[in-house]
Amino acid sequence: MILTVTPNPAVDHTIHFDEPLQPGVVHRTDDAVFTAGGKGINVAKYVSALDADATASGFLGGHFGKFVRDRLDADGIASDFVTVDADTRLNTTVLAEDGEYKLNHNGPQIRAADVDELVETAQANEPDTLLVGGSLPPGMSLADVDRLARAGDWQIAVDMGGEYLAELDADYYVCKPNRSELATATGRTVETEADAIAAAEELHARGFEYVLASLGADGALLVTDSEVLSAPALDVEVVDTVGAGDAVMSGFLAAREHGLSDADALRMGVLTASRVVGVAGTRVPHLEDVLTNETHVEVTTVRSR
Ligand SMILES: O=P(O)(O)OC[C@@]1(O)O[C@H](CO)[C@@H](O)[C@@H]1O
**In the chain, where are the structural domains located?**
160-304
Instruction: Return the exposure string of 85-122: e unless at least 16 CB atoms fall within 10 Å of the residue's CB, then b.
Output: ebbbbbbbbbbbeeeeeeeebebbebeeebbebbbebb
> What is the rounded CA–CA span in Å between residue 25 and residue 23?
6
Mean pLDDT over 47-66 rounds to 97
pLDDT, tens only, 218-265: 999 999 999 999 999 999 999 889 999 999 999 999 999 999 999 999
Alpha-carbon separation of residue 137 from 104, 114, 128, 276, 281 (angstroms): 12, 12, 25, 26, 21
Please give the distance, rounded to the nearest whole angstrom, from the Cα atom of residue 246 to the centre of ligand 1.
9
Mean pLDDT over 31-42 rounds to 96
Q: Which residue has the higher pLDDT, 295 or 26?
A: 26
Does the interface predicted TM-score (ipTM) exceed 0.95? yes
Q: Which residue has the higher pLDDT, 286 or 109?
A: 109
**Banded model confidence at residue 305, pLDDT cuts 50, 70, 90:** confident
**Banded model confidence at residue 281, pLDDT cuts 50, 70, 90:** confident
> What is the rounded CA–CA span in Å between residue 85 and residue 59?
10
User: Which residue's CA is the closest to the ligand 1 atom numbered 5?
Assistant: 134
- Residue 280: predicted pLDDT: 86
> What is the rounded CA–CA span in Å between residue 232 and residue 270?
8
User: Which residue's CA is the closest to the ligand 1 atom numbered 6?
Assistant: 38
> What is the rounded CA–CA span in Å between residue 160 and residue 29?
33
Answer whether 188's CB lies under 8 Å from 195's CB.
Answer: yes
DSSP string computed for 148-214? HHHSSSSEEEEE--HHHHTT--S-EEEE--BHHHHHHHH-----SHHHHHHHHHHHHHTTEEEEEEE
**Banded model confidence at residue 170, pLDDT cuts 50, 70, 90:** confident
104 lines ligand 1 (CB under 6 A): yes
Question: Is pLDDT at 138 greater than 90 in this prediction?
Answer: yes
Alpha-carbon separation of residue 133 from 78, 143, 177, 243 (angstroms): 17, 15, 11, 11
- pLDDT above 70 covers a percentage of the chain that reads 99
Please give the distance, rounded to the nearest whole angstrom, from the Cα atom of residue 71 to the centre of ligand 1.
17
- Residue 21: predicted pLDDT: 96
* Full strand arrangement of the beta sheet holding 10-16: 32-37, 10-16, 89-96, 99-103
Global pTM? 0.95
Alpha-carbon separation of residue 145 from 25, 171, 176 (angstroms): 43, 11, 16
CATH topology classification for 160-304 = UDP-N-acetylmuramoyl-L-alanine:D-glutamate ligase (3.40.1190)
- Residue 236: predicted pLDDT: 94
> What is the rounded CA–CA span in Å between residue 208 and residue 52?
23
- pLDDT above 90 covers a percentage of the chain that reads 92
Point out the catalytic residue in the list 114, 240, 246, 264: 246
Per the annotation, the verdict on 246 as an active-site residue is yes
Answer whether 44's CB lies under 8 Å from 56's CB.
Answer: yes
**Banded model confidence at residue 183, pLDDT cuts 50, 70, 90:** very high
Question: Is pLDDT at 294 greater than 80 in this prediction?
Answer: no
Q: Which atom of ligand 1 is the closest one to the Cα of 281? A: 14
- Residue 295: predicted pLDDT: 75
Cβ contacts of 130 within 8 Å, gap of 6 or more: 2, 3, 4, 5, 122, 148, 149, 152, 154, 155, 156, 157
Mean pLDDT of the chain: 96
